[in-house]
Amino acid sequence: MAGFLEEKVVAITGAGGGIGRACAVACAAEGAKVVVADIGVGLAGEDPRSEVADAVVAEIAGAGGEAVAVAEDVSTMAGGSRVVDAAVEAWGRIDGVVAVAGILRERMLFNMSEDEWDAVIATHLKGHFTVFRHAAAVMRKQESGSLVGFTSGAFAGSVAQANYSAAKGGIVSLVRSAAVGLHRYGVRANAIAPIARTRMSANVPMELGEMGEPEDVAPMVVYLLSDAAAEVTGQVYTVVGGRIAVWNQPAEVREMRTEGQWSPEEIASRFGEVGVERMALIDRLEEYRKAAAAGDKPNT
């Protein structure tokens, strides 16, 4: 039986370990030719080693698949362009990009350094831009392609990961913008918010209530890259274990109007007409504080 991704060329960043590796192996098993892009850094982005990408290429080749390694930093324009060029040089096209590369630098906002902010935004958010931008130029001419970003449930807010949360929110907006901006060229863009057992999830300051394996996330990536998902764009999907859920699209929910300009007094007196939308995370802060005081990780 032909694989789901027969004849497709796919580049995956962060493919040297964790979820990215599982996606690369699954895409190759479904017939895709794969660029395994990973600079092989530690969890905080330190100590790069090219061997991790080479090892996944060898694993794919050992299983009868085709892959090439790119050990570049995807937070640079040159690195993003190398990832896309490697696909085009080896196989003449690029049908899919999966941006999985990421790092963590946990810190409360009031203690966060500029470097902790910059490194996380650069790896996650700019690391999506660099590969999406170069791939989009090729896909536009091909009039086909699928971009898959990796966000996180933390995009909705995070106590101790303001940098990570902001990057992941930016990725959702980038994916939605790519979906509308590239729609007329037949190029799609979607995002996955995974939860899976990796070195990264082992290090978050929360006890993750739901857990799955990296291999549980890969089939949804394969689906989004495939022609079976030709109508799917601009979406965010949670994938954990055997559960897949779709996120809503942001939209205004209530409004109030006045003649001319508002005064602060009028806003104060009529504020209940728009009111607030409950932020579920705020209701749980007391629970988090108690867990931290007891030396435990709070549950998500």
Ligand X SMILES: NC(=O)c1ccc[n+]([C@@H]2O[C@H](COP(=O)([O-])OP(=O)(O)OC[C@H]3O[C@@H](n4cnc5c(N)ncnc54)[C@H](O)[C@@H]3O)[C@@H](O)[C@H]2O)c1
Catalytic residues: 164
Interface with ligand X includes 195 (CB under 6 A)?
Answer: yes
Q: Among residues 10, 18, 32, 131, which is the contact residue for ligand X, using CB under 6 A?
A: 18
Residue 200: CB minimum distance to ligand X, A: 3
Residue 263: CB minimum distance to ligand X, A: 44
Interface with ligand X in residues 80-119 (CB under 6 A):
100-103
The token pair that represents 265 in the structure block? 């007094």
Interface with ligand X in residues 47-76 (CB under 6 A):
52, 73-75
Instruction: Give Cα separations from 178 to 132, 146, 185 (angstroms).
Output: 8, 10, 11
- Tell me the C-alpha distance between 203 and 161, whole Å: 12
Residue placing its CB nearer to ligand X in the complex, 23 or 184: 23
- Identify which of 156, 14, 166 has the alpha carbon closest to the alpha carbon of residue 105: 166
- Identify which of 170, 100, 185 has the alpha carbon closest to the alpha carbon of residue 136: 185
The token pair that represents 21 in the structure block? 């590796």
Interface with ligand X includes 198 (CB under 6 A)?
Answer: yes
Q: Among residues 4, 8, 17, 179, which is the contact residue for ligand X, using CB under 6 A?
A: 17
CA angle 116, 121, 122 (to 5 degrees): 100
Residue 193: CB minimum distance to ligand X, A: 6
Instruction: State the residue number with the nearest CB to ligand X.
Output: 18
Q: Which residue has the tokens 């362009």?
A: 81
Interface with ligand X includes 297 (CB under 6 A)?
Answer: no
Interface with ligand X in residues 151-190 (CB under 6 A):
152
* Number of neighbours of residue 163 by Cβ within 10 angstroms: 25
Q: Count the residues of the shown chain that bind ligand X, applying the rule CB under 6 A.
A: 32
Measured in Å, how far apart are the chain's first and last C-alpha atoms?
41
Q: Which residue has the tokens 């995002």?
A: 191
Residue placing its CB nearer to ligand X in the complex, 16 or 96: 16
DSSP state of 123: I
Residues forming contacts to ligand X in the complex (CB under 6 A) are: 13-14, 16-20, 38-41, 43, 45, 52, 73-75, 100-103, 123, 127, 150, 152, 194-196, 198-201
